[in-house]
Amino acid sequence: MPDLHPSYPIRTARLLIRPLAAADTEDLLAYRSMEQVCRYVPFYPMDSAAVAEKLKESWARRMIRAEGDSLTLGVELAESGALIGDVVLFFHSSEHRGGEIGWVLNPAYSGFGYATEACHALLHLAFGQLGLHRVVARVVEGNSASLRLADRLGMRREAHLISNRYFKGAWVGEVDFALVEDDWATQHAPGGGLGDRPR
């Protein structure tokens, strides 16, 4: 059974990716309480009680041990120490070595490639230490910033599902992206595709 137990923090060019802590509450609330941030994600604007509950439960996990686990990690800006977002990796299937990623960024830090850089680090964990075969991202149609992000990550647009989810009171479609381990290896081969740098 594959598992994932990273050494923290995971360092990228500009970021530290690491577990969330109670000290992050204010920074988390700064964006997770915003309507505009929650529009296309499966949670609603959070208050401090909701953040505290998450910090005690699913966000307290530091590793992936078994199918069904998810790992939510904070995205910290190295130069200031500010917590600017969070990313999540779901381990869906041990048999199929399948997982999924998701992302949320404080809009105050949008437009600098930080989400791309953090997700890239998460994909490294997914295909590296966890040894996944296939990682998907499911983006609600209309979420144009996330569609661009998945494209930037080199993920393949595999399907546009029409009206497939009853989401926050309405039927919405979804664009499904995926990367398989061969794609990842090709993209990171010397001279190939994305290279090893964040884009």
Ligand X SMILES: CC(C)(COP(=O)(O)OP(=O)(O)OC[C@H]1O[C@@H](n2cnc3c(N)ncnc32)[C@H](O)[C@@H]1OP(=O)(O)O)[C@@H](O)C(=O)NCCC(=O)NCCS
State the minimum distance, in angstroms, from the CB of residue 138 to ligand X.
6
State the minimum distance, in angstroms, from the CB of residue 2 to ligand X.
23
Helix%, strand%, coil% for the chain, nearest 5: 30, 35, 35
Q: Tell me the residue nearest to ligand X as measured from the CB.
A: 113
3-state SS class at 146: helix
State the minimum distance, in angstroms, from the CB of residue 130 to ligand X.
19
The CA distances from residue 184 to 52, 97, 107, 125, 131, in Å, are 36, 14, 28, 12, 12
Query: Cβ closer to ligand X: 44 or 112?
Result: 112
State the minimum distance, in angstroms, from the CB of residue 84 to ligand X.
9
Query: Cβ closer to ligand X: 3 or 38?
Result: 38
Instruction: State the residues that interact with ligand X by CB under 6 A.
Output: 37, 40-41, 102-105, 110-116, 137, 139, 143, 145-146, 148-149, 198-199
Q: Which residues contact 51 (CB under 8 A, 6 or more apart)?
A: 25, 28, 29, 32
Query: Cβ closer to ligand X: 137 or 178?
Result: 137
Query: Cβ closer to ligand X: 1 or 170?
Result: 170
3-state SS class at 97: coil
Nearest by Cα to 91 from 56, 66, 113 = 66
